């Protein structure tokens, strides 16, 4: 039986994309998982070259990715929804009545969000090299965390869909 996983971030052009494509890259064709991503405030826009280039360095092409907004339909058709940040988890709880785990909660057992660039570096425009290093470090963290996340997926999917509060 195929089980579906949905990663959620803000714009669906950075963290959730890195998680979706990193997990997909590590799955075999016989994998029981279908993986997608969405954003709570996604609009049609291209993935920033820093993100796409870092993923390309890992052998992952994202050129066909189209950002999409989180909807009730997406929520209903996935067995496990994984939030990248606290604001995403809170949004899903308020909008859809579901409690969902954070990426780092599954991969590392830590209640720690993966911060967006503006959250980690509020004045990121003043130091673009530091901003780029941060974005690349987040992608590297997600990439390196995928084996641990994959190992924990059966446990989290065992619970199936999160239950209403």
In this structure, the number of other CB atoms found within 10 A of the CB of residue 102 comes to 20
Rounded average pLDDT over 98-127: 96
Whole-angstrom distance between the N-terminal and C-terminal Cα of the chain?
A: 27
| Chain mean pLDDT for the chain | 94
In a domain? residue 163: no
Q: Domain total for the chain?
A: 1
Q: What pLDDT, on the 0 to 100 scale, is given for residue 2?
A: 85
Note the pLDDT tens digit of each residue in 69-84: 999 999 999 999 999 9
Contacts of 34 (CB under 8 A, 6+ apart): 2, 3, 4, 5
Note the pLDDT tens digit of each residue in 120-133: 999 999 999 999 99
Note the pLDDT tens digit of each residue in 32-86: 999 999 999 999 999 999 999 999 999 999 999 999 999 999 999 999 999 999 9
Domain that holds residue 49: 3-158
Rounded average pLDDT over 124-148: 97
Report the catalytic residues. 9, 15, 116
Instruction: Record the tokens describing residue 72, joined without a space.
Output: 């009730």
CATH number at residue 134: 3.40.50.2300
Which of the pair, 165 or 142, is modelled with greater confidence? 142
């Amino acid at each position: 039986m195929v089980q579906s996983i949905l990663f959620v971030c803000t714009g669906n052009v950075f963290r959730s994309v890195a998680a979706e494509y990193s997990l997909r890259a590590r799955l075999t064709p016989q994998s029981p998982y279908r993986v997608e991503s969405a954003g709570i405030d996604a609009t049609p826009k291209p993935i920033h070259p820093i993100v796409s280039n870092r993923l390309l360095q890992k052998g992952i092409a994202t050129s066909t990715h189209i950002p999409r907004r989180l909807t009730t339909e997406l929520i209903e058709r996935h067995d496990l929804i994984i939030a990248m940040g606290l604001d995403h988890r809170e949004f899903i709880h308020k909008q859809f009545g579901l409690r969902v785990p954070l990426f780092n909660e599954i991969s590392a057992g830590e209640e720690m969000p993966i911060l967006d660039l503006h959250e980690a570096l509020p004045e990121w425009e003043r130091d673009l090299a530091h901003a780029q290093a941060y974005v690349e470090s987040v992608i590297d963290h997600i990439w390196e965390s995928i084996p641990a996340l994959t190992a924990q997926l059966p446990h989290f999917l065992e619970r199936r869909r999160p239950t209403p509060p």
